């Protein structure tokens, strides 16, 4: 069970069951006032072409059905609107029963029943994941036609309507049918699953020529496919003339293909094939047009299939017909395609045998304000004066190293007749490794741990490995001053305690006059030690930074007399006469051993000075002990200096 299959919210407060009951009681067919059968539901700009007539399925054919002989990726054909991206996503969806039954809920109840014509009310509902929640979209069954033919997505069977109805519900979410022209497969895959999409640029990664990288990518693609995720592939169109241009190999540029199978194919015949165990990495793709296939190696009629036994071919479902579906080796996929999109389902169920992720979802917004302390639209790092005014989120990696998945999604903009298609902002995010005890917003640059690309896509995704510690994510628009809402999703192996940082500095309270208020902020960065006393194999050492009753402790560095700690603490100090102490300890089985300490006296103008200091004992008259420690100190009377 995937956590994204949570409670569902009615879109525009339309209750499917309530509306259907009302229609049946009044013996009328439903007409949707929110998405009427008019040109406003077709176009947001321009004038219509041929006269479109909205017709119900019973007026288009005899014996209409939601499904004819079940649901299949072969059902779909792209119509007049340029939404191959959506049709490709539908093709992928059709191959996943658990997923399409979420998008098409109660499908048996929604199916036409010829024996009970009075039970039909001309109303359907479909569910999509939008901006952190599942929404239930109600539509009527009136579909746009010209000459009694569906003009948009349609099925092989004239009396099968599931894909046309799903497309209508999706067009309603977007504002109109025209809004589906030239979209993004990654967005549709996320909307169908609640997963996260990871785009991969095959050209930039040079996967065609780097066998090791290609093999690694294939294993990741195979894992996403085997765990129920959805995948698509495309070839970039650089110019308008390139769009939907057919290459000599049969593939089409600027066009989204659904990946319908991923497998290692056994070569050879009979028992010999099992003993040789020679396998080929292969992918099956489908053109949403339902025709025009790849004509290179392993195409439907190629000689290569003689290398595969008949039983293996049957298992793979190899057919020799121009149905738009074909096999390719993964090497050829990397050579001819430019992009792959993997939409992985993030498993957060503790009952699963597969890896379980901890997910945090946080909603935020880029907002403008004249006061820099309240402005939250600072733009990317290129705008150094305003960058730290952006929203900030802190999270923790609690294992020595952990894989972290981060996705930021901007709220989709609905197309309107007056304003046209809503354009995405260029968005992205940076991740900084910060002090182990940070509680307030960042105000100066720290070590950049990772960063995403900046792109005018609805969502941006990053997968990164990070060592134990505390991190701050700063999501931004590329340019300052741009506003919009976003959803931040963070996935880690163990709970990350991810939350927004709202305060710039410690708040003043009624206790501040009694207990005092910080006069200075000090950041202590312990980099490394050298020459430590320890066993012949080196000490298992760690450091503790102490200041006014607060402690920050590093991870243990095992078996070395020259450990790299790279640990930071930030302290808001009330008693400036009290020194900050950095102690070095050796981890022992029974009792840890004190190896030495340094006492740091800081001034407000200590600006990132690097000090290499001798370790000393804890006596009143300190004496030097073996070893030195390298420490950077930054102090300021301004509490928003770090």
To which H or E segment does residue 461 belong? strand 459-477
Token pair belonging to 90? 């539908």
The one catalytic residue among 23, 77, 83, 84: 84
How far is the CA of 66 from the CAs of 21, 30, 35, 105, 125, in angstroms? 20, 17, 20, 12, 12
CA geometry: angle at 338 spanning 217 and 155, to 5°? 100
**Is 424 known to be catalytic?**
no
Name the packing angle between helices 84-94 and 185-193 (round to 10°).
40
The one catalytic residue among 255, 343, 407, 525: 255
Token pair belonging to 211? 């066998």
**Is 255 known to be catalytic?**
yes
CB atoms within 10 A of CB 459: 22
* Beta strands 143-146 and 53-55, pairing class: antiparallel
How many angstroms from the chain centroid is the CA of residue 513? 47
How far is the CA of 638 from the CAs of 353, 436, 578, 633, in angstroms? 51, 21, 19, 15
The one catalytic residue among 184, 287, 347, 390: 287
Give the separation between CA 310 and CA 270, rounded to whole angstroms. Answer: 10
**CB burial of residue 280 (10 Å; 0-12, 13-18, 19+):** middle
Token pair belonging to 109? 């109840």
Give the separation between CA 86 and CA 84, rounded to whole angstroms. Answer: 5
Q: Which is it for the CA torsion 442, 445, 448, 453, positive or negative? A: positive
How far is the CA of 459 from the CAs of 231, 481, 625, in angstroms? 16, 19, 54
How far is the CA of 38 from the CAs of 86, 152, 187, 437, in angstroms? 22, 15, 26, 59
Give the separation between CA 406 and CA 30, rounded to whole angstroms. Answer: 42
Q: Determine phi and psi for 585, rounding to 5 degrees.
A: -125, 150
Ranges of H-type helices in 78-184? 84-94, 97-103, 107-110, 162-174
Q: Which residue has the tokens 């007056």?
A: 418
Token pair belonging to 452? 């995403």
**Is 371 known to be catalytic?**
no
The answer to whether residues 262 and 278 touch, using CB atoms and an 8 Å cutoff, is no
For residue 506, give the DSSP letter: P
Catalytic residues, by residue number, are: 84, 255, 287
């Amino acid at each position: 069970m995937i956590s994204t299959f949570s409670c569902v919210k009615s879109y525009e407060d339309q209750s499917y069951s309530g509306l259907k009951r009302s229609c049946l009681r009044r013996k009328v067919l439903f007409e949707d006032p929110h998405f009427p059968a008019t040109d406003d539901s077709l176009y947001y700009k321009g004038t219509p072409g041929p006269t479109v007539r909205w017709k119900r399925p019973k007026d288009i054919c005899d014996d209409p059905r939601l499904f004819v002989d079940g649901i299949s990726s072969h059902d779909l054909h792209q119509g007049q609107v340029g939404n191959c991206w959506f049709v490709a996503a539908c093709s992928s969806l059709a191959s996943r029963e658990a997923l399409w039954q979420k998008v098409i809920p109660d499908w048996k109840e929604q199916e036409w029943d010829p024996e009970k014509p009075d039970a039909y009310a001309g109303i359907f509902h479909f569910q999509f994941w939008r901006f952190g929640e599942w929404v239930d979209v109600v539509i009527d069954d009136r579909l746009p036609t010209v000459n009694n033919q569906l003009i948009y997505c349609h099925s092989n069977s004239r009396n099968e309507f599931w894909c046309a109805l799903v497309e209508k519900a999706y067009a309603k979410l977007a504002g109109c049918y025209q809004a589906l022209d030239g979209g993004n497969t990654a967005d549709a895959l996320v909307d169908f699953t609640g997963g996260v999409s990871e785009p991969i640029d095959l050209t930039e990664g040079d996967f065609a020529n780097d066998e090791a990288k290609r093999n690694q990518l294939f294993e990741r693609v195979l894992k996403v496919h085997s765990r129920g995720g959805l995948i698509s592939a495309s070839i970039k169109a650089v110019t308008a003339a390139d769009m939907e241009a057919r290459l000599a190999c049969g593939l089409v540029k600027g066009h989204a293909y659904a990946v319908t199978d991923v497998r290692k194919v056994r070569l050879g015949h009979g028992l010999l094939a099992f003993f040789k165990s020679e396998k080929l990495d292969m992918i099956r793709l489908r053109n949403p047009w339902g025709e025009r296939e790849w004509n290179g190696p392993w195409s439907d009629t190629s000689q290569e299939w003689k290398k595969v036994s008949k039983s293996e071919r049957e298992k793979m479902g190899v057919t020799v017909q121009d149905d738009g579906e074909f096999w390719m080796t993964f090497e050829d996929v990397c050579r001819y395609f430019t992009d792959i999109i993997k939409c992985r389902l993030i498993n957060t169920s503790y009952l699963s045998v597969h890896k379980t992720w901890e997910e945090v979802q946080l909603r935020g917004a880029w907002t403008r304000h004249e006061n820099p302390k309240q402005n939250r639209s600072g733009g990317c790092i290129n705008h150094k004066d305003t960058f730290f005014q952006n929203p900030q989120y802190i999270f923790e990696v609690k294992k020595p190293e952990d894989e972290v998945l981060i996705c930021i999604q901007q709220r989709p903009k609905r197309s309107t007749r007056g304003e046209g298609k809503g354009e995405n902002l260029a968005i992205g995010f940076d991740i900084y490794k910060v002090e182990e005890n940070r509680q307030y917003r960042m105000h100066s640059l720290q070590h950049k741990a990772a960063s995403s690309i900046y792109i005018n896509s609805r969502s941006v995704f990053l997968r990164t490995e990070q060592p134990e510690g505390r991190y701050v994510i700063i999501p931004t628009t590329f340019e300052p001053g741009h506003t919009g809402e976003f959803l931040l999703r963070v996935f880690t192996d163990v709970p990350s305690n991810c939350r927004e940082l709202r305060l710039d500095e410690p708040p003043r309270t009624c206790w501040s006059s009694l207990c005092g208020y910080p006069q200075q902020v000090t950041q202590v960065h312990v980099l490394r030690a050298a020459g430590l006393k320890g066993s012949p194999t080196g000490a298992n050492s760690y450091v503790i930074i102490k200041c006014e009753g607060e402690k920050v402790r590093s991870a243990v560095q095992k078996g070395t007399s020259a450990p790299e700690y790279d640990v930071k603490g930030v302290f808001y100090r009330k008693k400036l006469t009290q020194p900050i102490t950095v102690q070095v300890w050796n981890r022992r089985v029974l009792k840890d051993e004190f190896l030495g300490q340094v006492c740091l006296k800081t001034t407000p103008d200590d600006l990132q000075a690097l000090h290499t200091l001798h370790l000393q004992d804890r006596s009143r008259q300190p004496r030097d002990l073996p070893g030195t420690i390298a420490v950077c100190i930054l102090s300021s009377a301004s509490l928003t200096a770090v």
